Amino acid sequence: MYDDGDEDDAAPPGEPADLQRQHILLHDTAHVWHPYTQHHQAPLPVPIVRAKGSWLYDTHGKPLLDAISSWWVTTHGHCQPEIVQAITDQAASLDQVIFAGFTHEPATALAAELVGRLPRGLTRIFYSDDGSTAVEVAIKLSVQSFANRGQSRRLIAALDHAYHGDTFGAMAAGARSVFTNMYEPLLFDVARLPDPSEGDTLAALDALIAARGKELAAVIVEPLLIGAGGMRVWDESVLQGIRERTSAAGVHLIADEVLTGFGRTGPLFACDRADVRPDLLCMSKGLTGGLLPLGATAATEDIFDAFSSTDRRKTFFHGHSYTANPIACAAALASLQLFDEDSEDERVRIEVAHMRHLATLEGTKGVRAVRQIGTVAAVELDAPDGYLSDIGRELAAFSLEQGILLRPLGNVAYCLPPYCTTDREIDAVYAVLQRFLDGERAAPIGTGGPFDD
């Protein structure tokens, strides 16, 4: 059982919960600009002051079950004690140091640990800040590695419905959508391949290589699960086919595992599920267990060697102020140590719980399709498609009233919980979804807080 906490401790001593909430929201409405938020229409944000396990707590101590891992980052659970301790210990000894010309144990130990767990052949780790910058690094490494060897390959191929981040290179690789339409004149051209869940990706890739293979630097994919594009699951055999074709053509395969990495699809990395070895692999989100921001791009020794030269112009001129921040690296190292047999058992348990509920929902009125991979489950609602579908906002508001955090991708609701989430907590998520499908839109019921398993 998770500790429900003392609601009296939600607000600082001497500051009533109502007053604390008012202070937070006063400053928020006056000064804060939230991501993916239309401030003209959005309700007031929920002030959160504490988190533990699968639960978030507001200023009044009201619990909110985090069914989406706080935007897909929280793996083992909120405020996981071993990671918190690693952060505390590291902060007391080395907080930050420039990573050009200097190094430190948290970064080197983490790199060695990652190389030991990544698909074989990925031997070099370049640190950045988040998933989007990890993708930027991968694209730049691919293009420049060819240029350093005298080959002009600048074309990138990507999948329909893909999402790779919100910086310009990542946006260019992503599908054109409401996220990117405003900036389209500024984005570089990308060869688009069909979404493997809908079309013949391999035939399109064959045609692209035949027509423009000498221009093609890399194919970038979200392996086996297209995330923000609608939690679209695709087949391992297609990923294997992409790898075979890119290898034969001397084209890099970039695996964007920002979402799929660290156990979300079953094994530690989705590429492992298909026994595929990419040339570049992007990581973030669950890398630190969700406690601190950190990005990393893994590369092969062949790509690294393309930058080793007496010509300084062949240097990879890319970096971030907080590259390989020691505290974030210490958190990531502590998180990796928690991926043991017990963690695997917990992930399998969540998979089974999803399967049980999805089998019940499949064919239910209001449900167009269900899909699952690993600990990620998605329910496509029978409503207008697209990220701006109103049904997503309705479900998010309804579930919030019930004490469940969901953030549907338009008409696609998904459950992607921390690995500590119990079966009863997962049951509560699906119970709220079922009530919504049954027509409820208000009448808050509440979960009552953490459950006994």
Query: Which of these is catalytic: 163, 414, 419, 430?
Result: 163
Backbone torsions φ then ψ of 71, nearest 5 degrees? 70, 40
Query: Which of these is catalytic: 3, 9, 36, 95?
Result: 36
- The DSSP string of 287-332 is GGTTSS--EEEEEEHHHHHTT-SS-GGGS-----TTTT-HHHHHHH
Q: Tell me: is residue 174 an annotated ligand-binding position.
A: no
Strands (E), 195-351: 216-221, 225-226, 232-233, 252-256, 280-283, 295-300
Active site residue 285: yes
Centroid of chain to Cα 158: 18
Q: Tell me: is residue 430 an annotated ligand-binding position.
A: no
Active site residue 163: yes
Alpha carbons 75 and 375: distance in angstroms, whole number: 11
Name residue 126's amino acid.
F
Active site residue 9: no
Q: Tell me: is residue 423 an annotated ligand-binding position.
A: no
Q: Are 269 and 119 in contact (CB under 8 A)?
A: yes
Task: Report CA Rg, the chain.
Answer: 22
Q: Are 83 and 29 in contact (CB under 8 A)?
A: no
Task: Tell me the longest C-alpha to C-alpha distance in the chain.
Answer: 71
Q: Tell me: is residue 319 an annotated ligand-binding position.
A: yes
Alpha carbons 84 and 101: distance in angstroms, whole number: 29
Q: Tell me: is residue 321 an annotated ligand-binding position.
A: yes
Query: Which of these is catalytic: 285, 414, 419, 430?
Result: 285
Q: Are 58 and 397 in contact (CB under 8 A)?
A: no
Query: Which of these is catalytic: 129, 256, 272, 279?
Result: 256
Active site residue 57: no
Any residues with CB less than 8 A from the CB of 393 and at least 6 apart, and which?
A: none
Q: Tell me: is residue 71 an annotated ligand-binding position.
A: yes
Q: Of 382, 380, 373, 360, which Cα lies nearest the Cα of 427?
A: 360
Q: Tell me: is residue 407 an annotated ligand-binding position.
A: yes
Q: Tell me: is residue 308 an annotated ligand-binding position.
A: no
Q: Which residues are catalytic?
A: 36, 163, 256, 285
Which residues sit in the known binding site? 71, 131-132, 163, 256, 285, 319-321, 407
Which residues sit in the known binding site for pyridoxal 5'-phosphate? 131-132, 256, 320-321
Which residues sit in the known binding site for substrate? 71, 163, 285, 319, 407
